[in-house]
Structure 1
Amino acid sequence: MNEHSPTRQRRRILVSGASIAGPTIAYWLDRFGFDVSVVERAATMRGGGYPIDVRGPAVDVAERMGILPMLQDAHIQSKRITFLHPDGGVAGAIRPEELTGGEEKRDIELPRGELTDLLSRLTGDRSIRYMFNNSIASLSDDGAGVSVTFESGATEYYDLVIGTDGIHSRTRRLIFGPEEPFSHYLGYCYNGFTMPNFLGLSHESLTYTTPGRYAVLSAVKNSPTLHAFLIFASEEPPIIEHRDPAGQRRLTAEKFDGIGWEVSRLVQAMQHADDLYYDVVSQIRLDRWSKGRVVLVGDSAFAPSFLSGQGSSLAMIGAYILAGELATRDDPTDAFVSYEKLMRPFAEANQNLAGDGGAFLLPRTQEETEMRNRMLASLNSSDAEAMPGEISRAVHSSLKLPDYERTLNGKH
């Protein structure tokens, strides 16, 4: 199929959000011949962030986009995850694949910012219009299209609107209402930030555990900077606004007060970090992912949480499938139904991985901690217990991607 000769009148589509799902679906929609605009509230594409994984069918999506070699070049090649006792002694160490279920010679771990930068360059070479420092203020769906009023005051009319604006999606709130009914809290809060590599770590992560509190340090290759995480369990989500960094720092410092090892150093770095990100660990679960001519994809529709390790992969896969269904079906509402039919079982299976990963990575009690440590100690024995990755691997690869270009070529 010629990329810019669609079989129907060229539809105007607005994509809200420019992280991973947004640029991915913008690329595919443009490739399939749609007129695509992307609105993003930030001033630029969002860079930075901790390492993320591209696994299973997401690797195939990257290959079809022509970016797989670049992703492979950015692969950080983590060698091990070491778990520490409360006294700082080593409880055990594993290869990352034993926890994540990744395929060592196929799946890719890379800094999130490198993926978003690559997507920015890829989509920047196409006829996609980006609108930064702006966002959707209101939507009015008349059944034939959607009138969008932006925070800038401008109003535009689109055939479809696609929300790719993350776990706290404004697009979702505008069509389905407040977040609370759809956000499923998993019992943890986390802080992510960067700090100097004071331990000289290389290609590895350290995880320090006391029941209900966890300090994680991750070294990307030989970087002088570490990605640090302070995570704590809480039965109920603390009542702290997402935009109250002083309150977030204060609460976290209280939770980690008096803990041993190097935790006080992490807390001090957190207090002064200019890139601190705080949130509760949660998933988004919706009964439906679309309403009228507005549809959601990525974290806005099916955020799996970082405990699953699948957020970025699901975003890329969902974006590809939604774009392909829109390209191969005349009625967009039919496309929304088929997209959800294909994607929902896979998304929900990956969301369910968070329970296995959470229990192993973030044990809440002394009993759970001891069970995790016994698993680590048994790895080289004949009675070794199954690691979380053995369960995850089958789930990651349980979806076969449709070949939409073959379908489109068959129509001509």
Structure 2
Amino acid sequence: MKRRRGALRILVSGASVSGPVLAYWLTRHGFCVTVVERAPALRKTGGHAVDLFRPAMDISEKMGVLPLVEERATGTNRMTVYREGSRRPVRADLSKIFSGTSERHVEIMRDDLSEIYYDAARDDVEYVFGDSITAISPDGEVRFENAAPRRFDLVVGADGLHSNVRRLALDDESRYNGFIGAYFGVLTLPNISDLDRELLIHVGVGRTAGMYGAPHLDDARALFLFRSERELDYHHHDVPRQKALLRGAFAGMHARVDCWLDELDRTPALYFDSITQLRMDTWSQGRVTLVGDAGYCPGPAVGGSTSLAVVGAYVLAGELAQAGGDHKRAFPAYERVMTEHVRGSRAAGLSAAKTLIPMSRLGVWGLAQGARLISALPAGPSRALLRLTTQSARFYNSVTVDDYLPSPAASGGPGGLAGNPGDGLAVE
């Protein structure tokens, strides 16, 4: 797409999901976009499966990438659940559960989704890999670890739960973290259980371990979730400590789980983090704003954060276009639209965590038997039961997003600074 001369210059930090989606829509609205990403290239190893629900599917369709998303779906349609201490598994039809929880849904590997969104606008966006923002000055200068300083009109943090932009733009940003009492880890390993479109789960009180693959993957993923009453002492870059925590949390669960843990010292990719929500009343400061997990993470692995990130990116770009680039109008409008979605996602995340990581033997039994009951019922009753009992299903099916048409005023407007090369970002 040809950019208009004098278009607002917007810097986006992060090239995972919300960053590329935001970049796509900003360029379609006539803005000039640069995306900076700390990693040297798009991540194509590791990662875990994420869910796209109806609103994110609709936005992907508007972007013209829905066929690619559906083509890369994991295709997981069966689930086998072993309760800790029980030899008899429970088998469930996941395809019926997925269709019952959402009118439109696909599960896809996060790295595949990131690549699809990146490719959608790569020719219209300036991508800078292997670099990171180190400072955002009031005079509009943005400094980087490697590149020379540059000026931008707006800066958007799309850089995840541990957002660098949030840290730079907000005072004492750690006070917004809401630890919900659990941790999760994902490791890449050979498909040692020979899974074909199947999710294999072991569930005990306070801990859940699972393994799954996808038809187009040569390997598989093992997922570990466990509860902790207190926040654990570790650094998110301390991989040996993370491995030790996983081994300690799942010791003695099952011989199969032990085999998965044995792969910790051989895995090419491990991700470990707390299940933490960001609870902020506002995620904008002056000419800086946040999108996706950087601003309103509902909890990794439990809150539908990927769908929320896609919706947030679409809304932010649309509100900026409707405001003619005036961030003083666009950012509050963006937050007003997203507030209800964010609150609902937080509640859904807390509910999902209770289900996925049961806190009692009754909860373990309920998880297994509930899945079996829902998959055994005819489609109509099973869908009704899921919608009655699953808070996340009710929430995601209720999310609606307005259409945002390209605005001819995107490069100017009351807040547009693009016509004056001396102006730029000012943190107010």
Partner letter of residue 399 of structure 2?
A: L
Q: Deviations over 1:187-225 (max 9, x none)?
A: 111221111212221112011011112211112137442
Counterpart for residue 333 of structure 2: 338
Deviation (angstroms), 1:71 = 1.2
Structure 1 residues 229 and 46: alpha-carbon distance in aligned structure 2, compared to 1, 3 A threshold: same
Task: Summarize deviations over 1:289-332 as a string: whole Å, max 9, x none.
Answer: 10000000010011122343521111111111101111110321
Equivalent in the alignment of 1:305: 299
Q: Deviations over 1:355-410 (max 9, x none)?
A: 2222222102223223334434544479989447753333113233222217769x
Partner SS for 1:397: helix
Instruction: Map 1:202-221 onto structure 2 (within 5 A).
Output: 202-221=196-215
**Which of 363-372 and 386-395 deviates more?**
386-395
Q: Which residue of 1 aligns with 2:119?
A: 121
Q: 1:370 to 1:293 in 2, by over 3 A?
A: same
Task: Say whether 1:133 aligns with 2:127.
Answer: no
Q: Partners of 1:122 and 1:260 in 2: how far apart? A: 43
Q: TM-score, normalised by structure 2?
A: 0.87
2:227 is the counterpart of 1:230: no
- Structure with greater contact order relative to length (CA < 8 Å, sep ≥ 6): 2
2:162–2:294 Cα contact (<8 Å) kept:
yes
Share of identical aligned residues, percent?
32
Q: Return the offset for 1:109.
A: 1.5
- 1:50 to partner: Cα distance: 1.2
Q: CA 1:295/1:222 → structure 2, altered by over 3 Å: closer, same or farther? A: closer
Alignment gaps of 5+ in structure 2: 410-428
Name which of 185, 191, 196 aligns with 1:191.
185
Alignment of 1:172-183 (within 5 A): 172-183=166-177
1:95 matched residue in structure 2: 94
Which amino acid is 1:293 matched to? R
Question: 1:131 is matched by which residue type in structure 2?
Answer: V
1:81 aligns with 2:72: no
> Are the aligned partners of 2:102 and 2:397 in contact in 1 as well (CA < 8 Å)?
no
TM-fit CA distance, 1:229? 1.4
Q: Does 1:28 align with 2:25?
A: yes
Contact 1:55 1:313 in 2 (8 A): yes
Q: Are the structure 2 counterparts of residues 155 and 5 from structure 1 closer, same or farther at C-alpha, using a change threshold of 3 Å? A: closer
Letter of the aligned partner of 1:30 in structure 2? T
Structure 1 residues 337-346 or 374-383, which shifts more? 374-383
- The letter of the residue matching 1:18 is A
Aligned residues: 401
Task: Quote the residue 1:356 is aligned against.
Answer: 351
Counterpart residue number, 1:398: 398
* Change in 2 beyond 3 A, CA 1:250/1:390: closer
Inter-CA distance 307–113: structure 2 relative to 1 (3 Å threshold): closer
SS for the counterpart of 2:398 is coil
**What is the CA distance between 1:163 and its match in structure 2?**
0.5
Partner of 1:10: 7
Residues 362 and 290 (structure 1 numbering): CA distance in 2 closer, same or farther, change over 3 Å?
A: same
The whole-number CA distance in structure 2 between the counterparts of 1:31 and 1:352 is: 33
DSSP 3-state at the match of 1:180: helix
Q: Which runs of 5+ in 1 are unaligned?
A: none
Give the match's secondary structure for 2:127. strand
Q: Is the 8 A contact 1:55 1:102 kept in 2?
A: no
State how far apart, in whole Å, the 2-side matches of 1:358 and 1:92 are.
21
Separation of aligned partners in 2, 1:73 and 1:377 = 28
- Cα distance in 1 between the residues matched to 2:10 and 2:356: 40
SS of match in other structure, 1:208: strand
- CA–CA distance in 2 between the matches of 1:98 and 1:213? 22
Alpha-carbon spacing, 1:88–1:155, altered in 2? closer, same or farther (3 Å): farther
Aligned to 1:291: 285
RMSD (Å), alpha carbons: 2.5
CA distance in 2, matches of 1:174, 1:97: 45
* Greater alpha carbon shift after TM alignment, 70-79 vs 369-378: 369-378
Q: Is the 8 A contact 2:320 2:330 kept in 1?
A: yes
**How many angstroms does 1:241 deviate by?**
0.7
> Which residue is equivalent to 1:375?
370
**Using the alignment, how far apart are the partners of 2:369 and 2:79 within structure 1?**
16
Aligned to 2:106: 108
Task: Provide the secondary structure at the position in 2 that maps to 1:57.
Answer: helix
